[in-house]
A and B are shown apart, each in its own frame.
Chain A
Amino acid sequence: MEPFFYVTVGCGMALATSVFTMISGLFEVVGGLGVLLGIALAGLFCLVIALSIGELASMYPSAPAIRTYLKTAFGDRVSLVLVYLYLISVILVAGLESFIFSQVFQAVFPNAATIPTVLSLIGVVLAVNLAGLDLPRSTQMITTVLAVMLIATSGVYGLVMPKIDFSTSIGAQAGADLLLTLPAASGMAIFLFMGFEWVTPLGMRPKSYQWHVPVSMPIAVGVLVITFELFVLGAASQLPRSAIASTPIPHVPYLATLYGPVGVYLALGLALLATISTFNAGIMGGSRLIYMLAREGNLPGWCASISLRTSAPVGSILLLGGSTLASAIVVVTWRIEVLVAVIGAAIMCVIYAAFLLAALVLRKRRPEAARPFRSPVWSHVQWAGVIVLPFMGLQTLFSQPDWGVWPVLGTGAAVTLAALLAWRYRTASRQEPRGNQAPLVVSPEPGREGC
């Protein structure tokens, strides 16, 4: 079951409720055929990226992936900027995810208000994490399998029982138009795979990094491509393009069209499955990354506080929870869900290019290092990915002319914040001796033993 667990982690981390928001955004920008091609192309890129990350994971087993790989390849400063950027994208997506959950919840319970629903969701997840509760591996596997099965079978069912003319949604975009919009669509579709790499620190034993963990990622990407393509085909067979593009939760009307009123409950079930696996694991993994950065002296010391009783990294969980709430409020207030997803996708294009480059750089810089797994992809293809991915990310920012300069401004703000954080904390941590930058703070929680 071990290899299967890794595959489900990779799939489960990507299968957030907000992927449907991005699919809606894709339908708005390119139409059905462009969506299918965009997802396929993004999947192909992610396949190459997954193999490179697999190689890096085999070199540095159990390491906090992004920080270790990029630090060893590019040095402290550049890697810090990228790690902060990654964290910012995680926070943006977590905020978006909680908002989308509230929208699905309202589809079932129309009287539920958005902000209290968002607060409740974040509160429950924070409480679970603060209590130090780990999701059992079996639960991770079951929730992911259920989600994949529900999306894929609904896709097949929708496709074989079409309610509208398929070409209405798929559309007949002219060849040149399609080619022009495809880079942006592929960049946006990268968002759908975001998180497959979170499996890298979870290997259970040294041998896991020789084959199981590295190979699990491309398999997860493959499963995701098939699942998303089936969803798109199914949705395009049931709803017109305008209906899919006009809602941030297109899976709700789609499942309702397919199964009747039960479909709305299935959509809520899907959102709950995503919350159990993706959202919870995202908060856990993200807080662990913040904790590591704080321990290195790259974030304020209080972020490294832990609970003596549960060993939960209390400071980092609260920081991430608070930031997620702020991000959710911004999304709720200005209804910028697709914009936030697009900024997240653009950032991930750059981060994934950095992973590809890191693997190539380390082959030159550390040729002697043990690599139990080596990406079989031709290096010229990897170099092409390094160049093309940031370009795709940039195209993504201009995918919707209605947004004007907001995507660029938002991404610029994220990059500036990341650079400022890297400058501020790296300068401080350089003055400390090796590896002992931040004092450990053990939280003096009421009713708990502290020190």
Chain B
Amino acid sequence: MWTANDQTYESVLQEFQERFNNHPRVKKLVQGWDRLVLLDSTDTGTKFGLIVKNQTMTEVRKMEAYDEDADDLVHLQAEEDVLMEIFSGRYNPATALVDGALAVYSRDRDKVKLEALAMVIWRLG
């Protein structure tokens, strides 16, 4: 069952998906970068998966289960408000990471890639 908060959060992610898919520079940035970006809210327990495949974010969906050992997993963990701020472009993910508000479990390059994506979408888009 969706709550008002879920809808708001999901709409932020849907909007992010739209921006992601409509941005020509993002396509270049995610060339060969097929990933499951898992957004894990520490306070609400909600988990959303952003699935990037063939230079497109093909799906944004709630996740019940996932393979935490998968090579293509990029796991983001934060409070839901923080994730919403990040994915609506109001909070620089690099700063969130430094502030200790966001945890990212992935290879180092994926961290840079994620932040580059966010900045291309909101700063130079």
Contact = CB atoms under 8 A, between A and B. Distances in A.
Interface residues of A, number: 40
A440 B120 contact: yes
Given A311-B109, A311-B112, A311-B113, A292 B94 contact: yes
A426 interface: no
A437 B98 CA distance: 13
Contacts of B28: 308, 449, 451
A134 B108 contact: yes
B100 to A, nearest CB: 4
Given A205-B68, A205-B75, A284-B108, A436 B92 contact: yes
Contact of B97 (A63, A203, A308, A309): A63
B35 to A, nearest CB: 12
Interface in B44-81: 68, 75, 77
Contacts of B112: 288, 291, 306, 311-313
A309 B90 CA distance: 26
Interface string A57-69: 0011111100110
Contacts of A439: 119, 123-124
B86 to A, nearest CB: 9
Given A206-B75, A206-B103, A440-B120, A296 B98 contact: yes
Nearest to A288: B108
B116 to A, nearest CB: 5
Contacts of A308: 25, 28-29, 116
B91 A63 contact: no
A132 to B, nearest CB: 6
A201 B103 CA distance: 9
Contacts of A63: 97-98, 100, 103
B104 interface: yes
Contacts of B123: 436, 439-440
A132 B111 CA distance: 13
The 8 closest A-B pairs by CB, nearest first: A435-B95, A435-B92, A440-B119, A60-B100, A295-B94, A62-B103, A451-B25, A311-B113
28 contacts: A60-B100, A61-B105, A63-B97, A63-B98, A63-B100, A64-B97, A64-B98, A68-B97, A72-B100, A132-B109, A134-B107, A206-B40, A284-B108, A295-B94, A296-B98, A306-B112, A308-B116, A311-B109, A434-B91, A435-B91, A435-B92, A435-B95, A436-B92, A436-B95, A436-B123, A440-B115, A442-B116, A449-B28
